[in-house]
Structure 1
Amino acid sequence: MSDLPDVVSVGQYLAHRLIEVGGPHVFGLPGDFNLTLLDEMLTVDGVEWVGNTNELNAAYAADAYARTSRGIASLVTTYGVGELSAINGIAGSFAEDVPVLQITGMPTTAARTTGALSHHTLVDGDYDHFFRAYKEVTVAGAILRAADASRDIDRVLRAALDESKPVYLGIPMDIAAAPVSSAPLRHPLRATPSDSVALDDFRTALTEAFASRLGPQDPVTLLAGPRIHRRRAEHLLERIADHPGVRVATQASAKSMLPETHPASLGIYMGQMTPSAATRAAVDEAPLVVLAGTVLSDVLTGFYSQHFDFDAAVELGVSTARVGAVTFHDVRLEDSLAVVDEVVAGLTLSPGPAADTSWPYRAALPAAAPGSPLSQHELWTIVQSWLPTDSIAIADAGTAMYGALELQMPTGTDLLAQPIWSSIGYTLPATLGTSLASSRRSILFIGDGAAQLTATELSTILNRGLTPIIVLINNDGYTIERVIQSPAAVYQGVAAWDWAALPAALAPGVPVLTASVGTASELRDALAAAAGATDRAVLIQAHLDPNDAPPLLAALGAIAGGGREAPRAR
């Protein structure tokens, strides 16, 4: 920053901050109210524009980019029509604790002050309608003025750093090029540190809780949630897991955050939907559970069927820690995890047997009649044996996610899913975000119904030369809804698309490997070819019976449809 001029524009100032916080790629669409802002931002070396096919896709791509890069991602839209198209994606980022900056190019300050009737407005003279709407799905926001623009940019970005949530900036056309001092850029933004006194008090309370609640043969049991990932603290979780006598289960939204081959890994915990009976018992019957960065939502708890004692648990949140009935404020999750590691290191625990779990798709497939239709069980068993190391698996809400959750992720391979917000179609634009944020190859599993919502973003992926593998599960519509209710209803189907022809229509001249498979042997061949085609994107269309569902999805349907205990644990 030492070579910066003394004065920069507001747009340049914002661009420098975005590079600093890990978001050099800027997603979005141009519109007349953001053109000056874009022109200013793109004068800064290191900023790269990623034009999307619509604003919702831009928000989804930015969300996945932030999850993968661990920085703050951003998107730029125009006022009203653009920002409202993006708000569903931003709401998902809020629900799942992802720091995304929504930047709205706004009409001029004069137009806002006088209430001029303009296009893209509700023609009532009130220019704050959508700013107020975004307050519901962000933790901080501002409409910039020249006098304090840099201060508000820093305040809003720091809120995203502190809370791992989305934030909002409205930038009027005349403010985008306004001059501001570059002096604050010499001081990097930092998240607010933990309160040292509160952290010490938490350490004392945790030590006492372990001493009073754990016997010499009792393991330390952690249930790890997605907020550990958002705070970049997986290394602390693994360090805790390395201690003898520690067992770690993860929520579905945190799957593979601890390597699933780690001896302490119990796999995923979802209450009555937990795949392994041993995992469910290990968590529900533990004398003391440490809830580390968890979100106890319906799907993640098997529809609130967790049996552990929540009130007596140790709970580590993003900015608070709780031991039983006592809450310690201003304690950052990354610091509370470090304290857990420190306290556990001082315990004398019995190593105990290796964690007992099961992986259903590890078993060999039974012989099938030649040419018999591909089943969900065959699909996921073949994927399990094929899935490469050091990749990013992405699974859309629905059949894809519930199949992927029971895979054992190989070394270095993460699973990205959106089980809380569960907005179908999210993952196709998300694949753009992961592909830009990481050199690891992205492997997307998505249903045909979900893909139809956001398929246009395949154009951006292909035309940028990105090379993900896309496994499109074609089961003629919404199998997840069929499992829940009314499988034969007319609304469960979708129009048939020629998926093999889509890449050529969206990216003429770009080489893409395509395949259509309907049997186990065809799927094996297609995946083998995909692994070898590292220079191009791959689209594999897998045809499956509309009523065939992975076991975990069938369990969800049993609960949601009948309100009964799911026959899951084995």
Structure 2
Amino acid sequence: MTTPALNVNKDDGYPKIPLGEYLVRRLLSIGSKSAFGVPGDFNLPLLEFLYNKDGDEIINWIGCCNELNASYAADGYSRYTNKIGCLITTYGVGELSAINGITGSYAENIKILHIVGVAPTFISEDENLKYKNLHHLIPDKEFPNINSPNFKIYYQMVKDKISCASEYLTDIETSCDKIDDVIVQIFKHSKPGYIFIPSDFSNKLVSSKNLINVPSINLSDCLNKTPMEKIDNLTNEIIDLIGNSQSPAIIGDVLTDRFGCTKLLNDFIQMTKFWNFSTMMGKSVIDESGQAYMGTYIGLGGLTTVYNKILKCDIFLIFGLEMNEMNSGNYSFKFPKGSQIIEINPNYLKITKCHDTENQIVDFYPNVSMTHILEGLIAKVNIHDANTNYDKSVKSYDTSELVLPLQQEDEEKITQVHLQRELPNFLNPGDVLVCETGSFQFAVQDFKFPSNLKYISQGFYLSIGMALPAALGVGIAMKDYPKFHLNDHSLARNYTPRLILLEGDGAAQMTVQELTTMLRHKIPMEIFLWNNNGYTVERAIEGPFRSYNDIMPWNWTKLLNVLGDPNNEFNRCVTIDKKSQLSEKFKELKEGKDNNCIQLIEVQLDTHDIPRQLDFMVQEMTFKKKSSSTTEKKVK
């Protein structure tokens, strides 16, 4: 990879370079090796700096079919690497197309830098030009032919609403500092940030001072630092509480991963051998192959066997908790009476005592680093001092706890039950699994993943269609950072992880264009397309036979021919409607046969077949809706 040569003009003692070059160098310094987006007239000057003088890409440009898909792809890139996913769009029409993807990233704590090319400064500052209605802008409501349009209207729409930091560059002298500050805030909060760059700024010269004095910016540099004396006192308090426990439990949630603590948490579990549980959004944060792994805790929305194990514990260390409707089983988290909860989040620590009717907060410590707490616990904990006395009749989690209904062996029809029984065995240690928002997503929560598997899914915001372009971003990230998610060095040497996408037909029809981008960039992937004739989650909630939940049937196995591979050079497509066919395909792919391409497997399912887990969620939603309606009537 070649970087541009520095301009030797040195007004402040540091070489001057164009702002576009500064931004490209800064992106490389934070680990963003690829950028996703769509070209537009206001970002074209910036895009030119992605190439060196020979025309080679300095940063990989992944041009997507539309900005929404590009935002999903940048999201997937960040979810895999835990680095910043870079999205580049143009004024108004581009950035607004991406806004749903950015909102999902904000809701699920994903690091995205959204760079928007905007109108040149000479237009907004010139008294004769600023009153003219510029394309991509919104004219004034009352007097559009007289008043100036609001050049910052889109900036004002997102600032402090779906971004942790937003800067509209107006002064070239402060632009580098503002770019760097947005990046720092993205790492600090693990949420998207925006930089609006006037199209005439990219070629203006700026100082390279920041690049020389701060050559890189990374996650650990940006997180709050907690005084070591405070960490020492808190870790001592936690260890004392653990020492008085007979059955401690660890719950690992998604913010553990977002804030770079996954390895630390697994090291702590390995040292202590404490019972441990994942959450729905935290799937694959904890190594689920361990002997002390007890399942996914989703409150009363999960398995009874898992809930019963929770009831056998007396203290809970919860790391990186993300409390929302989906992750908590409709806010049904319950803990045994008398137990204590130590909630360790990225920037606070809370100790709670559980009572019959409500929980009492005993202590709350803001501005406490989860990283420092875990490091302190690992340094101090001595398993020999632990007074654990677990129920020895309890075994580690196994998918047999699902108690799936038996089906006749001679029945060849593929069902959700059959997929739940067979698909976990299809996964290899080290694979990367991306799952679309849809009916089968609710079944995956009760899988037991093999070691080093990376699971990616939008579990809370739930925007259907997100997973397919997100898988593109994951695939690009796996090229930029091969085997990045593997902690097992032996596995990293001997196995090439597969990228597997579980996709629904209704969701795919929303964002399917990015299959062409996968072909263009040669992203190997195994895509299981669940064809159940439309919007199955919606059918389960309302209108099971309504036309609004139907979609037009497609010939899925011909799609990749149309989208750029007419001779099947990089794709293999098949339709499967029998168990025996699916088992054969599972075996073939698991063994790595012919997997250096896109394999699209269309799996025929019944229209109204749904997993038990989804049925429970729908029943809970319906019950709460009816209860709320009854309450409203009583109030009236």
TM-score (norm 2): 0.83
Residue deviations 1:452-505 (CA, integer Å, cap 9, x gap): 110001110112111100000000111112222331222121111111111101
SS in 1 for 2:574: strand
CA distance in 2, matches of 1:65, 1:406: 25
Q: Which amino acid aligns with 2:72?
A: Y
Structure 1 residue 519: Cα displacement: 1.2
Structure 1 residue 247: Cα displacement: 1.9
Identity of aligned residues (%): 27
Residue deviations 1:299-340 (CA, integer Å, cap 9, x gap): 111101111389963222222223344333332222222233
* 1:198-217 map, 5 Å: 199-212=228-241, 215-217=244-246
Structure 1 residue 216: Cα displacement: 4.8
CA distance in 1, matches of 2:4, 2:25: 12
Task: Tell me which residue corresponds to 2:252.
Answer: 224
Task: Indicate whether 1:537 and 2:598 are aligned.
Answer: yes
Structure 1 residue 217: Cα displacement: 2.0
Task: Indicate whether 1:60 and 2:72 are aligned.
Answer: yes
SS in 2 for 1:89: helix
Task: Tell me which residue corresponds to 1:112.
Answer: 124
SS in 1 for 2:455: strand
CA distance in 2, matches of 1:456, 1:168: 26
Task: Tell me which residue corresponds to 1:503.
Answer: 560
Q: 1:268 to 1:371 in 2, by over 3 A?
A: closer
Task: Tell me which residue corresponds to 1:337.
Answer: 374
SS in 1 for 2:116: strand
Structure 1 residue 281: Cα displacement: 3.2
Q: Which amino acid aligns with 2:182?
A: V
Q: 1:374 to 1:185 in 2, by over 3 A?
A: same
Residue deviations 1:31-52 (CA, integer Å, cap 9, x gap): 0010001012333964110000
Answer yes or no: is the 8 Å Cα contact 1:361–1:381 preserved in 2.
no
* 1:33-182 map, 5 Å: 33-43=42-52, 46-113=58-125, 114-124=130-140, 125-135=149-159, 136-144=161-169, 145-182=171-208
CA distance in 1, matches of 2:253, 2:406: 35
SS in 1 for 2:372: helix
Q: 1:205 to 1:110 in 2, by over 3 A?
A: same
Task: Tell me which residue corresponds to 1:272.
Answer: 300
SS in 2 for 1:290: strand
CA distance in 2, matches of 1:511, 1:421: 33
Q: Which amino acid aligns with 1:240?
A: F
Task: Tell me which residue corresponds to 2:329.
Answer: 302
Task: Indicate whether 1:260 and 2:300 are aligned.
Answer: no
CA distance in 2, matches of 1:103, 1:284: 48
Task: Tell me which residue corresponds to 1:518.
Answer: 577
* 1:439-450 map, 5 Å: 439=482, 440-450=497-507
Residue deviations 1:16-60 (CA, integer Å, cap 9, x gap): 111111111000000001000101233396411000001010000
CA distance in 2, matches of 1:369, 1:209: 52
Answer yes or no: is the 8 Å Cα contact 1:435–1:441 preserved in 2.
no
Structure 1 residue 432: Cα displacement: 0.5
Structure 1 residue 376: Cα displacement: 0.9
CA distance in 1, matches of 2:234, 2:111: 31
SS in 2 for 1:422: coil
Answer yes or no: is the 8 Å Cα contact 2:50–2:58 preserved in 1.
no
Answer yes or no: is the 8 Å Cα contact 2:575–2:601 preserved in 1.
yes
CA distance in 2, matches of 1:53, 1:161: 28
CA distance in 2, matches of 1:22, 1:284: 43
Q: Any stretches of 5+ residues in structure 2 without a counterpart?
A: 8-14, 141-148, 353-361, 483-496, 627-636
Q: 1:210 to 1:500 in 2, by over 3 A?
A: same
Task: Tell me which residue corresponds to 1:480.
Answer: 537
Task: Tell me which residue corresponds to 2:314.
Answer: 287
Q: 1:318 to 1:111 in 2, by over 3 A?
A: farther
Q: 1:83 to 1:392 in 2, by over 3 A?
A: same
Task: Indicate whether 1:373 and 2:413 are aligned.
Answer: yes
Structure 1 residue 148: Cα displacement: 0.8
Task: Indicate whether 1:18 and 2:77 are aligned.
Answer: no
Equivalent residues, number: 562
Answer yes or no: is the 8 Å Cα contact 1:394–1:417 preserved in 2.
yes
CA distance in 2, matches of 1:150, 1:534: 44
Structure 1 residue 110: Cα displacement: 2.2
Task: Tell me which residue corresponds to 2:515.
Answer: 458
Structure 1 residue 285: Cα displacement: 5.7
Structure 1 residue 265: Cα displacement: 1.5
Structure 1 residue 3: Cα displacement: 7.2
Larger Rg: 2
Q: 1:317 to 1:42 in 2, by over 3 A?
A: farther
Structure 1 residue 370: Cα displacement: 4.2
CA distance in 2, matches of 1:355, 1:189: 44
Q: 1:266 to 1:421 in 2, by over 3 A?
A: same
Task: Tell which deviates more after alignment, 435-444 or 527-536.
Answer: 527-536
Residue deviations 1:111-142 (CA, integer Å, cap 9, x gap): 23335311111023101111112221110010
Task: Tell me which residue corresponds to 1:192.
Answer: 222
CA distance in 1, matches of 2:564, 2:427: 27
Q: Which amino acid aligns with 1:233?
A: C
Residue deviations 1:168-208 (CA, integer Å, cap 9, x gap): 000000111111111211212253354443x5335424533
Q: Which amino acid aligns with 1:415?
A: Y
Q: Which amino acid aligns with 1:444?
A: L
Answer yes or no: is the 8 Å Cα contact 1:142–1:168 preserved in 2.
yes
Structure 1 residue 210: Cα displacement: 4.9
Structure 1 residue 66: Cα displacement: 0.7
**What do you get for the CA RMSD once the two structures are aligned?**
2.6
TM-score (norm 1): 0.92
Task: Indicate whether 1:494 and 2:551 are aligned.
Answer: yes
Q: 1:201 to 1:523 in 2, by over 3 A?
A: same
* 1:344-423 map, 5 Å: 344-345=381-382, 347-350=385-388, 352=390, 353=392, 356-360=396-400, 368=408, 370=410, 372-423=412-463
Task: Tell which deviates more after alignment, 175-184 or 478-487.
Answer: 478-487
Answer yes or no: is the 8 Å Cα contact 2:412–2:580 preserved in 1.
no
Task: Tell me which residue corresponds to 1:314.
Answer: 342
Answer yes or no: is the 8 Å Cα contact 1:479–1:549 preserved in 2.
yes
Structure 1 residue 296: Cα displacement: 1.2
CA distance in 2, matches of 1:553, 1:262: 27
CA distance in 1, matches of 2:534, 2:278: 30
CA distance in 2, matches of 1:322, 1:168: 32
Q: Which amino acid aligns with 1:176?
A: S
CA distance in 1, matches of 2:244, 2:340: 16
Task: Tell me which residue corresponds to 2:633.
Answer: none
Q: 1:285 to 1:112 in 2, by over 3 A?
A: farther
